[in-house]
């Protein structure tokens, strides 16, 4: 499944180009971002770990960021296969995979489809695993009406929808929150780099995909990190269930933590990632 690489692009099976940022040297850490962002959402973690002797790689999911705005392939299996092509093209081994939100699902599906031969450990941050949507098997899930509302907002005025989403995403709607307009603008900028088609299609993928079987195949040490005030991906729906399905899972809860932990709790997350790498 090896592709071809230029300096900052990997070409995958259907000709789509996946943008990568590849810094540093050492044990590789591969980051998968959340919706509707890009690999730049991980810049604080990447710089920190690169300065501590690790090779850090983040890719922009197809349709997102600087990757090809492909009409086809906006589904979780293809996301996972694109990630596999990046990993194989860069010939990575012993990698730690880190996924946030939708990216956590991508990491799980990658392992479910491609195994752990090139992976030593994984971290799921605010991840959508095992499943977000409410169903008879997932009674604590989020009602479909909520996701229909996201779809409607994206179609009606995604620029304003993304701006408004930053408030619950970072917990900026909580009393006493220190709001960064720069962070809100950065989220908006990354979101608007995503194609409308990909932004819309990805909603179904992060909400409806069932990762139960994938989690069961993650036979490596896996750290689950989640904020207990995550207003986007509720902890009881996801992290508390996921850790029970993981063969070697450990849950770490950030008290008062929002969904945007890579920004709002970056120092704590950086330290936890480094400790897990060294553990």
Give me the catalytic one of 60, 259, 265, 272: 259
**Nearest CA among 83, 126, 78, 134 for reference residue 263:** 126
Give the span between the Cα atoms of 35 and 2, in whole angstroms.
26
Whether 33 is catalytic is no
Whether 230 is catalytic is yes
Give me the catalytic one of 32, 38, 67, 101: 101
Neighbours of 240 (CB within 10 A): 16
Whether 38 is catalytic is no
Give the span between the Cα atoms of 244 and 220, in whole angstroms.
14
Give me the catalytic one of 230, 258, 265, 272: 230
Neighbours of 216 (CB within 10 A): 15
Tell me the catalytic residues. 101, 230, 259
């Amino acid at each position: 499944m090896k592709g071809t690489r230029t300096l900052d692009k990997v070409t995958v099976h259907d000709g789509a180009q996946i943008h990568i940022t590849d810094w540093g040297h050492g044990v590789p850490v591969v980051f998968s971002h959340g919706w509707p962002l890009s690999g730049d959402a991980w810049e604080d973690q990447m710089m920190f770990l690169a300065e501590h002797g690790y090779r850090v790689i983040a890719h922009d999911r197809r349709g997102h960021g600087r990757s090809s705005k492909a009409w086809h392939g906006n589904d979780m299996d293809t996301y996972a296969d694109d990630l596999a092509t990046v990993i194989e093209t860069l010939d990575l081994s012993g990698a730690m995979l880190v996924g946030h939100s939708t990216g956590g699902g991508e990491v799980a599906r990658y392992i479910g489809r491609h195994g752990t031969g090139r992976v030593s450990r994984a971290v799921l941050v605010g991840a959508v695993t095992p499943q977000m949507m409410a169903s008879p098997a997932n009674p604590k899930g989020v009602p479909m009406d909520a996701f229909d509302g996201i779809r409607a907002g994206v179609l009606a005025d995604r620029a304003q929808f993304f701006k408004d989403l930053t408030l619950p995403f970072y917990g900026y709607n909580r009393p006493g929150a220190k709001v960064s307009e720069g962070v809100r603008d950065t989220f908006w900028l990354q979101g608007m780099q995503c194609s409308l088609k990909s932004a819309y299609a990805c909603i179904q993928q992060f909400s409806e995909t069932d990762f139960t079987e994938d989690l069961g195949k993650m036979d490596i040490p896996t750290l689950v990190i989640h904020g207990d005030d995550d207003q986007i991906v509720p902890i009881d729906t996801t992290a508390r269930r996921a850790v029970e399905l993981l063969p070697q899972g450990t849950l770490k809860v950030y008290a008062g933590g929002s969904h945007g932990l890579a920004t709002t709790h970056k120092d704590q997350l950086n330290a936890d990632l480094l400790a897990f790498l060294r553990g």
